[in-house]
Amino acid sequence: MERIPSPSLPVNESLLIPTSIPSLIDHTLLRPDAAESDVARLCQEARDFGFMSVCVNPCWVPFAVKALRDGSSRVCTVVGFPLGANQPEIKLAEARQALEDGAAELDMVLNIGALRSGFYARVRDEIAVLAEVAHGEGAILKVILETCLLRRDEQLVACEAAVEAQADFVKTSTGFSTAGATVEDVQLMREAVGRSMGVKASGGVRTWAALQEMVRAGANRIGTSSGVNILREIRQASLMPSREDTY
């Protein structure tokens, strides 16, 4: 089912205006050993720096929603994480619970084994059900491909399934497999989905230079646990005005 990617799309350089960078970042903490104090710090940093969202494990969604009350940052959580091999009913229950708890963004791991087995309809239909549930609550759905485990043609099929299922983003990685985002994967994903949906680069994006590479490749959202360090790096390069008590 491999299709020929469309010609490379122009990069929106306005995304790389330094003052716009926080709105690209999902400030992420998915370590299994993260304690409440760690999540509290994550949320405070999101308030201080204006990140688009915090991305936390499902058990911390209610806490994060409360911590970010009246702030601009959204709460994102994961579904079927990190393997994607749950039964569809379990993913659906996870999604519903997360939305009930106040999550505004869901990052689901697709069924990688089903995709590699050629069960295209099963993969597409699972995404479609979660997209419908998310959209019904005013939330968005991102589909994690785990690109390091997929061949080029499989990545294209996964992107096609996400588009047909009306997901909002495709995302490179969980950050818990053999590798994270690469420029080549992001370029392929952007060419595959066109302008119809977002592309999130996640896994190993730890510096200002790496973030710029991913955006220029086609990403319009970045998942990283290094957002604060990236913004401080930008500040040290005198590209962004300082915020007192923050930078």
**Within a domain: 54:** yes
Per-residue model confidence as pLDDT tens digits over 40-81:
999 999 999 999 999 999 999 999 999 999 999 999 999 999
Average pLDDT of 90-116?
98
Strand partners, 201: 222
Tell me what pLDDT residue 14 has: 80
Catalytic residue among 26, 91, 171, 185: 171
**Within a domain: 6:** no
Q: What is the pTM of this model?
A: 0.91
- Does the pLDDT at position 247 exceed 70? no
User: Is-catalytic flag, 171?
Assistant: yes
**Within a domain: 8:** no
Tell me the residue type at 69. R
Tell me what pLDDT residue 13 has: 79
**Within a domain: 196:** yes
Three-state DSSP at 186 gives helix
Catalytic residue among 107, 142, 168, 185: 107
Tell me the residue type at 146. E
**Within a domain: 101:** yes
User: Is-catalytic flag, 91?
Assistant: no
User: Is-catalytic flag, 245?
Assistant: no
Yes or no: say if 247 and 233 are a contact pair by the CB < 8 Å rule.
no
Per-residue model confidence as pLDDT tens digits over 205-241:
999 999 999 999 999 999 999 999 999 999 998 665 5
Residue 1, Cβ density class (10 Å: 0-12 exposed, 13-18 middle, ≥19 buried): exposed
**Within a domain: 161:** yes
Yes or no: say if 179 and 203 are a contact pair by the CB < 8 Å rule.
yes
In degrees rounded to 5, what are phi and psi of residue 170?
-110, 145
Fill in the DSSP letter of residue 10.
P
Tell me what pLDDT residue 1 has: 33
**Per-chain mean pLDDT for the chain:** 93
Per-residue model confidence as pLDDT tens digits over 125-153:
999 999 999 999 999 999 999 999 999 99
Catalytic residue among 26, 142, 168, 200: 200
Tell me what pLDDT residue 243 has: 53
The residue ranking higher by pLDDT, 91 or 18, is 91
**Within a domain: 244:** no
Give the CATH number, domain containing residue 40.
3.20.20.70
State how far the Cα of 20 lies from the Cα of 11, in Å rounded to an integer: 15
104, two tokens: 């505004």
Tell me what pLDDT residue 3 has: 37
Yes or no: say if 63 and 37 are a contact pair by the CB < 8 Å rule.
no
Question: How many domains, in total, are found in the chain?
Answer: 1
Query: What domain range includes position 138?
Result: 13-236
**Within a domain: 39:** yes
The residue ranking higher by pLDDT, 177 or 15, is 177
Yes or no: say if 110 and 145 are a contact pair by the CB < 8 Å rule.
yes
